Chains A and B, each alone.
Chain A
Amino acid sequence: MSLHRSTRQFFVAAAVLALPATVSAQGFGLNEIGSCAIARGYAATGAPCKDASTIYWNPAYAAALSGNSLVIGAASIGVSGAFTRDTTLSRYPTDIPTAYPPNIFFNHRQSDDFSWGFGVYVPYGLTSQWNPDFPGRFLALKASIASIYFQPNFAWKINDRWMIGGGPIIGHSSVELIQSLDLSQQVAEVDPNLGPITFGMLGIARGTEFARATLKGDAYSYGVTVGIYGKLSDHWTMGARYLSSLNFNYTNGKATFQQIPTGLVLAANNPLNLPGGTPVDGVVAGQFTGTGALVAQGGKTELVHPDQAEVGFSYDGFDRWLLSGDYAWIGWKRFHALDIHFENPLLGTRTQYEDYNNSSSIRVGAQYTARNNWQWRVGFAGVSAAAPDVTVTPILPDQDRMNYTAGLGIPLTKGLTLDAAYAYVWTPGRAGRIVDRTSRSQTAAQVNGGVYTLQANIFSVTLKASF
């Protein structure tokens, strides 16, 4: 063969590390904050629940609460799904552990017109995890984010009908990504005529896992939330809230690499000009030691948790009924690309193109208060996907979602109530990819290779005390 030249000095041009690019997408976004709101289809901005969880849903309404209100709750979020590949029709199920995001809220009415309080909640925090044989593990074997917000809150009654509220947000976010590295995608050499020659072009199969990378990092960021709530008439109310974006700079990231045996053995007369019988693992071993590209090193990136805005209305003109509807908007449009910077110049900067769209959701809920003061709730939320067709990945196979919710509130004592809720999240399935998108010119038809399906079962309990 005329391509006879030494290729022993191959280098890893770009390990395909990337943070969970869509971590702050709706798929990772959590609205499981307070069982009352969940059961009402998350339509709790125009008709907040009468407890301190309103600090999240509509910080203004905290001015309407009396005395002290304490809310402690948690949700159990079980997500399951699968990827079915177009070519082999093989189905790869997810392996996502159940998540239990907690929340705590406290509100104190200082005077007739003023309340203060705080909330600790998890607005982003899910894990995407796949089995080790998943062919998309080169994009993500595991992608995890946990972003917890601490929000002091202050609320005022402007007059008998209107109130405002808000407060600063102190956010802490930690991320973890475990990703397989594909030898076939690494550059073996650069030929003056043929350009970069990857190991794949020399015959190494795509999906030859020769390393596993783990990237961890955490960061703080700060933002603000504000809300307004008012009574439009005796039976109609409205509310709106805005949660600013939080820009997390993960500057202390740590990337580690573990060599994974390929078991490959080069045949004689191979284009690498190595003796027949040479183990491929020995060829790449040097990359994991000394000055190799795949030694432990620092990394940094930046991730925005975008702006959120929500407006809602409620009507309580039917005896014992409360009906509510919200519209929510998330400003994903600004999420164009994600840059990962590695300490080792051989890895350099890695860019993932995201090109998200703003997303919307419609939420409706109903609550019936029985004569024994039990509250029965039902709701629905329809959510549009933020990810475009070309960015449906194993990190987040984002897709339109339908949330069907129900729950009830049970008064235990005069000041103590137990809320419980269940939500089923249905998705229609969506074509997506398990390969990297290396250029914006690549279309969904070119990179997508199968269909993702997802569903979730959510249980939530909240204990509410007023005193």
Chain B
Amino acid sequence: MSLSKTLLRGAAVAGILGTLLSCKADHVVAPQFTASPIFKSYVALGNSISAGYQSGGIDDSTQQRSFPSLLAQQFGTPFTYPSLKNPGCPPPIANFQTGARVTPPGYPPSTGGSCFLRNAWSVTDVLNNVAVPGAVVADPSSPQGVAANALTTFILGGMTQVQRALVAKPTFVTVEIGNNDVLGPAITGQPGGATPLASFQSSYDQMVSQLLAGAPNVKGVLIGVVQVSAAPVLFPAAALASPLFVGGLSQAVGAPVTVHPDCLTAPGNGSLISMYIIPYLQGMKAQGLPPTIVCVKNDVPGMGDYLILDQAEQATVYNLINSYNNYIQQKAAAIGFAYWDPNAALLALNSVPGAINRPPNLASATNPFGTAFSLDGIHPSSSTDVVIANSLIDVINAKYGTSVKHVQ
């Protein structure tokens, strides 16, 4: 046999084999991240606003409409959240006037203590939204929780926010914490209970330090604290000059409400009154006392303080929040993060017709505080979550040179 025939036959064999070898199966490519690399793993830390709390409750629907969820969609990044099974934990208020909450058929009426647990499908190892309603600045780095509630465990399962965030190996974070350090004291008229600035700074620093220790290259935005006095859950005492408004209050309380004259003159008419005055007045009625609103401390002994934020207290709260925000802004600059102060955007809503009802429209069961706020007068509505998300997108694009599109 000649060499040429041998080579020819070898070539034929090689040809047959080559044909077979070329019949490769379709190649399945491992998933790849196609958006901006800094958004590869986005985690939201914070409190109820980041968590998606609305109308005094939280469920899967409100969680999906939270600003971090909206941001993640615009980032084009996967986003897992601790889905709370509808109707929620607790279910959101569905009727402002009756206080009725969403209740599934066959169940007793939902209350503020009802909880329908986590959706089993949402039990994941990586969680991109680790924000916990009610969290104060010390909570994200505190193992036991300072302001811990049932949602702390339902969402974090025994970890801190920072620990849970680091599981996701975050490349980008939003940190929105501090509102609850002053909100409760403000709406109860007891601003002395707010977290002192030094403690706030210490806790904030600890949180950021832990976060950066676990994710040294992480980028993000630190979000300032909302001027909580601007929330429509606090209404101006001057509104009590309106018989219509007082009539609405009386209807809500279930008895005629008496307005002390100090509410109609300075300085009392400059006070802010918490909507939680309604259950307080109901309590007075239950004790056989005439439901009365006093707007100046101790004009009537023992009254005029609780749930009343007078002008001096408003200034205290305002200045404290400014101090918080100055610190947060400095912190952001120090670690190379962007900073966003939410107050300008929220203040701008005042000029949007129907966005904020202050005082609230007590005749409305579904829109008492305006379209910008949910039925608890504290938490943003879904439309305001869009405003927040878009404002953050502007800040992020400016800081990081990205081109994230606005939520439509």
Chain A residues at the B interface, C-beta cutoff of 8 Å = 1-3, 82, 84-91, 135, 184, 193-194, 197-208, 262, 264-272, 276-277, 280, 318-321, 323, 362, 364, 366, 368, 378-380, 382, 400, 402, 404, 426, 428-431, 450-451, 453
* Contact yes or no, A84 B30, CB < 8 A: yes
Q: Which of B10, B21, B125, B156 contacts A207 (CB 8 A)?
A: B125
Given contacts A267-B153, A323-B13, A368-B10, contact A201 B82 (CB under 8 A): no
* Contact yes or no, B113 A380, CB < 8 A: no
> Is B118 located at the chain interface by the 8 A CB criterion?
yes
Chain A residue with the shortest CB-CB distance to B108: A2
Chain B residue with the shortest CB-CB distance to A3: B115
Q: Which of B29, B107, B118, B168 contacts A203 (CB 8 A)?
A: B118
9 further A-B pairs in the complex, CB-CB below 8 A; given A267-B152, A428-B25: A89-B40, A197-B117, A200-B157, A201-B119, A208-B125, A280-B158, A321-B9, A402-B21, A428-B26
Q: How far, in angstroms, from A69 to B90 measured CA to CA in the complex?
A: 79
> For A428, what are the chain B residues with a Cβ–Cβ distance below 8 Å?
24-28
Chosen A-B contacts, 30 in total, with CB atoms closer than 8 Å, are: A1-B89, A2-B113, A3-B117, A86-B78, A198-B120, A200-B157, A201-B123, A202-B154, A203-B118, A203-B155, A203-B156, A204-B157, A205-B125, A205-B167, A207-B124, A265-B158, A266-B158, A269-B148, A269-B152, A271-B150, A319-B5, A321-B9, A362-B20, A364-B16, A366-B13, A366-B17, A402-B24, A450-B30, A451-B29, A451-B31
* Contact yes or no, B13 A1, CB < 8 A: no
* Contact yes or no, A267 B6, CB < 8 A: no
Q: How far, in angstroms, from A86 to B107 measured CA to CA in the complex?
A: 38
> For A135, what are the chain B residues with a Cβ–Cβ distance below 8 Å?
125
> For A184, what are the chain B residues with a Cβ–Cβ distance below 8 Å?
123, 157
9 closest cross-chain pairs (CB), A and B: A264-B158, A200-B123, A207-B125, A267-B148, A429-B28, A84-B30, A203-B157, A267-B145, A319-B1
Q: Which of B9, B20, B30 contacts A451 (CB 8 A)?
A: B30
Q: Which of B26, B28, B124 contacts A205 (CB 8 A)?
A: B124
Chain A residue with the shortest CB-CB distance to B134: A269
* Contact yes or no, A208 B78, CB < 8 A: no
Q: Which positions 44-94 of chain B face chain A at CB distance < 8 Å?
A: 78, 80, 82, 89-90
> For A430, what are the chain B residues with a Cβ–Cβ distance below 8 Å?
28
> For A368, what are the chain B residues with a Cβ–Cβ distance below 8 Å?
10
Q: How far, in angstroms, from A265 to B148 measured CA to CA in the complex?
A: 12
Given contacts A203-B155, A267-B145, A277-B144, contact A429 B6 (CB under 8 A): no
> Is B164 located at the chain interface by the 8 A CB criterion?
yes
Q: How far, in angstroms, from A323 to B116 measured CA to CA in the complex?
A: 68
* Contact yes or no, A200 B120, CB < 8 A: yes
* Contact yes or no, B144 A87, CB < 8 A: no
> For B125, what are the chain A residues with a Cβ–Cβ distance below 8 Å?
135, 205-208
> Is B208 located at the chain interface by the 8 A CB criterion?
no
- Count, A-B residue pairs, CB within 8 A: 175
Q: How far, in angstroms, from A201 to B31 measured CA to CA in the complex?
A: 29
Given contacts A90-B169, A205-B164, contact A1 B30 (CB under 8 A): no
Shortest beta-carbon distance from B27 to chain A in Å: 5
> For B13, what are the chain A residues with a Cβ–Cβ distance below 8 Å?
321, 323, 366, 378
> Is B149 located at the chain interface by the 8 A CB criterion?
yes
Q: How far, in angstroms, from A85 to B30 measured CA to CA in the complex?
A: 8
* Contact yes or no, B144 A268, CB < 8 A: yes
Shortest beta-carbon distance from B313 to chain A in Å: 29
Chain A residue with the shortest CB-CB distance to B80: A87
> For A268, what are the chain B residues with a Cβ–Cβ distance below 8 Å?
144-145, 148, 152
Chain B residue with the shortest CB-CB distance to A451: B30
* Contact yes or no, A271 B153, CB < 8 A: yes
> For B157, what are the chain A residues with a Cβ–Cβ distance below 8 Å?
184, 199-200, 202-205, 208, 264
Chain A residue with the shortest CB-CB distance to B158: A264
> For A82, what are the chain B residues with a Cβ–Cβ distance below 8 Å?
30
Shortest beta-carbon distance from A277 to chain B in Å: 5
Q: Which of B20, B118, B149 contacts A269 (CB 8 A)?
A: B149
* Contact yes or no, B159 A205, CB < 8 A: yes
* Contact yes or no, A88 B168, CB < 8 A: yes
Q: How far, in angstroms, from A2 to B13 measured CA to CA in the complex?
A: 75
> For A205, what are the chain B residues with a Cβ–Cβ distance below 8 Å?
123-125, 127, 157, 159, 164, 167
Chain A residue with the shortest CB-CB distance to B154: A203
* Contact yes or no, A265 B144, CB < 8 A: yes
> Is B242 located at the chain interface by the 8 A CB criterion?
no
Shortest beta-carbon distance from A331 to chain B in Å: 22
* Contact yes or no, B118 A201, CB < 8 A: yes
* Contact yes or no, B117 A201, CB < 8 A: yes
Which of B31, B118, B167: most chain A Cβ within 10 A? B31
Q: How far, in angstroms, from A402 to B24 measured CA to CA in the complex?
A: 7
Shortest beta-carbon distance from A90 to chain B in Å: 7
Q: How far, in angstroms, from A86 to B123 measured CA to CA in the complex?
A: 16
> For A266, what are the chain B residues with a Cβ–Cβ distance below 8 Å?
144, 153, 158
Q: How far, in angstroms, from A88 to B29 measured CA to CA in the complex?
A: 15
> For A380, what are the chain B residues with a Cβ–Cβ distance below 8 Å?
17, 20-21
Chain A residue with the shortest CB-CB distance to B118: A201
